[in-house]
Amino acid sequence: MNRTVSGNPKSRRLLINLLIVLFLIAGTFVAIQFAKGYRPNLQNRSLSGTGLLSVTSYPKSARVIINDKLTTVTDDKLYLLPGNYNVKIEKDGFHPWIKTFPIKNELVTASDARLFPIITATSPLTFYQVRNAALNTDGTRIAYVLKDSPQDITNGLYIHSLSGNLLGSSNVQIAENSPRDFSQALFVWSPDSSQILAIFIDKVPATKNSKQSEKISSAYLLSTKGMNSRTMSDVTLRLPLIISEWQDQFSKLNLPTLNLYPKYMIDILTKNSTNVYF
């Protein structure tokens, strides 16, 4: 007598659910490892850890040569095995940018290249005479006054940025040359270059009992980010407080650099010197 043994439907359903759970767990594990940079290594038949190299440049679409092999163009991201890589970024008409990067497992390494043109594009600040130029403390901006323009509205105080302008210039007018003539002002930059003081000094004629002297007639605090109002407020009374606050900020900015010097040099620079900049 032949008997047919049929499988238990509950057991089959349990087995299918178990396989689905195992598949989800395995898929999640693989996705996490893939996100960390692990890639299949066919030679070793295993998952090998990689690091991410992010290559960007200005201007974009520059060739990326890694270990003397053309690999991609900027901007791009590459997964590389751990090790040291010689990265060269080049573009026609620009000097090449070369640097060696250590790539580490599961870490992102950023390569941001700024390419300098072989023949630098230059343009004049203005076609009219520039007066009363004043450089900021870190040498990245210049304040200057334009006075001889045929259009009165374009005469005034300008800020010219010396950084980040490889393909042109950046000039921002921050004040008109009326009612005050900024070509006669003394300019003092703030520590972060976000503000500038325009100080006007009048000469006091000599008398029988005194020599010729100078006194501050007015002072204006201007923002360097854009055009200031023509109705500027006089900060002459606040001038000592503003200068004192800026000197404290300069001291804090210079502290990391000062700590690199011997103690006797620090004493000289902090106690016996004024207007110390790095």
Q: Are 168 and 220 part of one and the same domain? A: yes
pLDDT at residue 167, rounded to an integer: 47
- Residues 64-91: pLDDT tens digits? 999 999 999 998 988 888 889 999 999 9
Q: Is the per-residue pLDDT at 34 higher than 80? A: no
Confidence grade of residue 241 (pLDDT, cut at 50, 70, 90): very high
Average pLDDT in the 187-213 region?
Answer: 88
Q: Is the per-residue pLDDT at 252 higher than 90? A: no
Percent of the chain with pLDDT over 90: 26
Answer whether residue 21 is part of any domain. Answer: no
Answer whether residue 97 is part of any domain. Answer: yes
Confidence grade of residue 223 (pLDDT, cut at 50, 70, 90): very high
> Beta strand 108-114 with 51-58: parallel, antiparallel or unpaired?
parallel
For CA atoms 132, 187, 155, 124, the dihedral sign is positive
Query: Which residues are within 8 A (CB) of 81 and not within 5 positions of it... i.e. 6 or more apart?
Result: 48, 49, 50, 51, 103
Q: Are 149 and 243 part of one and the same domain? A: no
Q: Tokens at residue 223, please?
A: 């923002």
pTM for this entry:
0.51
Answer whether residue 120 is part of any domain. Answer: no
Confidence grade of residue 2 (pLDDT, cut at 50, 70, 90): very low
Confidence grade of residue 43 (pLDDT, cut at 50, 70, 90): low
pLDDT at residue 158, rounded to an integer: 93
Q: Which range, of 18-27, 92-101, 189-198, 243-252, averages the lowest pLDDT?
A: 18-27
Answer whether residue 50 is part of any domain. Answer: yes
CB 74 within 8 A of CB 89: yes
Answer whether residue 225 is part of any domain. Answer: yes
SS (H, E, C) the chain: CCCCCCCCHHHHHHHHHHHHHHHHHHHHHHHHHHHCCCEEECCCCEEECCEEEEEEEECCCCEEEECCEEEEECCEEEEECCEEEEEEEECCCECCEEEEEEECCCCEEEEEEECCECCCCCCCCCCCCEEEEEECCCCCEEEEEECCCCCHHHCEEEEEECCCCCCCCEEEEEEECCCCCHHHEEEEECCCCCEEEEEEEEEECCCCCCCCEEEEEEEEEEECCCCCCCCCCECCCCHHHHHHHHHHHHHHHHHHHHCCCCHHHHHHHHHCCCCCCC
- Residues 155-177: pLDDT tens digits? 899 998 877 655 445 788 999 98
Domain CATH for 76: 2.60.40.1120
| Domain of 271, in residue numbers | 238-278
Q: Are 255 and 223 part of one and the same domain? A: no
